[in-house]
A and B are shown apart, each in its own frame.
Chain A
Amino acid sequence: MTREVKIYTTPTCPYCKMAKKFFAANGIEYQEFNIAEDKAAREEMKNRYNSMTVPTICFNGEVLIGFNEAELREKLGL
């Protein structure tokens, strides 16, 4: 199954680093948006996904706010 994974992050957020490490360790590609720099991405995260916290992880219509490894594993079928 192909999935397009988007992760909204800030450079100072430890949970963002953990989320990226998780995807890398499971061999899943992702697109990262640094919302501290990328204003358009910041607005998209706030308005389209109604999230005000990072990491916000989006794939297959799912929006996961924060990093919860157990939940991610379940949603990704890992």
Chain B
Amino acid sequence: MYELIIIGAGPAGMTAAVYAARKKLNALLISSDIGGQVLWTAGVENYMGYQLIEGPELMSKFEEQVKQFPIDTKTGERVNSLSQTNEGFEVRIAKGESYQARAVIIATGKCPRQLNVPGEEKLKGKGVTYCAICDGPLFAGENVAIIGGGNSALEAAENMVKIAEHIHLVSLTPFTGDQILIDKVTGASNMTVFLEHEVLEIKGENRVERIKIRDLKSKQERELDVSGVFIEIGLIPNSTPVKEIVQLNHLGEIEVSCANETSVPGLFAAGDVTNAPEKQIVVAAGEGAKAALQAHRYLQRLSQ
């Protein structure tokens, strides 16, 4: 049995691991990846100590620092559930194995939101993508749809204007991204914008062939021939494994006190999965440090 299990290895989880190790806690770090959302960030200019560093490189540096300490690490593992036991908590991973600890820190961050329309699940990896910077080049010379109206959708559109034949930008709302990006994108000759339109279905047998959209005002439906659908509609917190036991807010974020306590004693949370304001690398790292120190205090009280 561990004293502490940390779930998630983004900036919050890895910082918590270092602080836990320095308090000589017997701790385990479990995560599906190392680096979390920062892996998707090209240039970071606001993490102190580095004037400009690429996201993946910054996370490699975090990882190196974690490895300086004798802390058990399991990566490539998805956590299925977390439950309370008489002595603390049990964390069950997707493979079925489980681990026990007296205290837990949830630092699982956020992941891309899905559209939840027919065809999306079936055509994932067959033209439906959530990583425009990854898969963009695959659609060179083809027609694509980008779904979303915020900065990530606009950045994807800006990138695809140079690569694709034609781009359909479909947003449920008016644009919510920065004006500078809106100007760049809407000026492109190979771009058609559908604001206040919803996606009803993604169609195709083995590949994406077209999407069906509907104008929210006129209710008029139409189909667009595309071979790629880039879904860029924001992020949702990875709070599913704990949703039955802790208090979440209306966005699905874990509610924490300023000392990173959740509604369950011994269960702490840090970083983007929580309701702490401002989703920033430096904030997540700081929250991770606070959570580990608070968990240490909690464990000390338990043993007294």
Contact = CB atoms under 8 A, between A and B. Distances in A.
B127 A10 contact: no
Contacts, number: 72
Contact of B94 (A42, A65, A70): A70
B125 A53 contact: yes
Contacts of A12: 133-134, 136
Contacts of A1: none
Contact of B77 (A45, A50, A70): A70
Interface in B32-86: 32-35, 39-40, 55-56, 75-78
SS class, residues of chain B in contact with chain A: loop
B134 A53 contact: yes
Interface residues on B, range: 20 to 34
A31 B79 CA distance: 32
Contact of A52 (B95, B133, B135): B135
Contacts of B127: 52
Interface residues on A, range: 20 to 34
25 contacts: A10-B133, A10-B136, A10-B138, A12-B133, A12-B134, A13-B131, A14-B39, A14-B40, A14-B56, A15-B39, A16-B134, A36-B137, A42-B137, A45-B138, A52-B208, A53-B125, A53-B129, A53-B131, A53-B134, A54-B138, A69-B75, A69-B76, A70-B76, A70-B77, A70-B94
